[in-house]
Amino acid sequence: MRLSSKWVVLGVLFPVCALAAETGPQPPFAGEITGERVYIRAGDGINYTVLSVAKQGDQVEVKGQRFEWWQVTVPPNCTLWVHKPLLTVEAEGKEATVAKDRVNIRARPALTADMLGQLAKGARVKVVDEDGEWCGIAPPSEASAWVHKQHVRKVGEAVAKPPEPKEKPEGKLDATAAAEALRKVQELYQAELAKPAETRSFDVVLAEYQRVAAECKDPAVAARAEQARQRLLKIVDLHSSLQAARQPLDEFEKKYKALEEEYRKRVNGTGKPKEQ
């Protein structure tokens, strides 16, 4: 039986295409951010919560993939959240033990927030913040973040995770410089508040809080910067929710005004609709 040349060509090309698809870097590996402002998200899609913004040259540990997204370790300066009733917090309030099994780690202090992983009963976490019935924790190894593949290049093989330092590494900002940076951040925030609600953008303010938290030598000041960033994130999330809720009302108002204008155009000088 003779095979069609079309099937012969397809039979040759298919293995080649499949091989080409597998020639990219395979996790785990050490990666580097290639873009200027790259969103690190809580899931593999643009609708997931933004955890932090990476800059060009930042290092990431890639540990998995899903479609066009790399699964990476959560940046250490991020605060994640666990429902406080599911933890046993020590008296000093600096550490906690997970009291239940399969406890969700969330991107925000809310039951509807995106999940980044789960903690097993007995796991230990470092407490860095509190917000009502929620504990802010340092990112545990069980949590994962996501970044689009186009913004990451491989720079080396995966390495064993070094032991965590007992103290925060030396930063670039001393207490005076950090205080001045926070003052300028507050000015940026006030400037955005002065704008109409629909034109406000707190991206730069959030990025500056993140920078101070990452670069400050004083752990206490760095913690305050990250706490301020978390509170502003709540405001931004609420603002986004209100904007999304208002959008249908705005569209209705536009359609209503358009119909009203059309009616007026069809009305004659006496105020009565024109005869058809």
pLDDT in tens, 100-127: 999 999 999 999 999 999 999 999 999 9
For the chain, the straight-line distance linking the first and the last C-alpha, in angstroms and rounded, comes to 74
Q: Hey, how many other C-beta atoms are within 10 angstroms of the C-beta on 178?
A: 22
Largest CA distance in the chain: 86
What pLDDT does 275 receive?
53
Q: Which domain range does residue 206 map to?
A: 175-259
With cut-offs at 50, 70 and 90, classify the pLDDT of residue 14: very low
CA distance 149 to 116: 19
What pLDDT does 122 receive?
96
Same domain, residue pair 183 and 250: yes
In the structure encoding, which two tokens stand for residue 209, read together?
């809080």
In the structure encoding, which two tokens stand for residue 164, read together?
């965590």
pLDDT at 246 over 90: no
Angle at CA of residue 56, ends 53 and 61, nearest 5°: 75
Task: Give me the residue label for tokens 């249908």.
Answer: 248
Same domain, residue pair 146 and 121: no
Same domain, residue pair 253 and 198: yes
Same domain, residue pair 119 and 86: yes
CA distance 123 to 138: 13
Q: What's the total number of domains in the chain? A: 3
Kindly report the pTM of this predicted structure. 0.71
Same domain, residue pair 147 and 61: yes
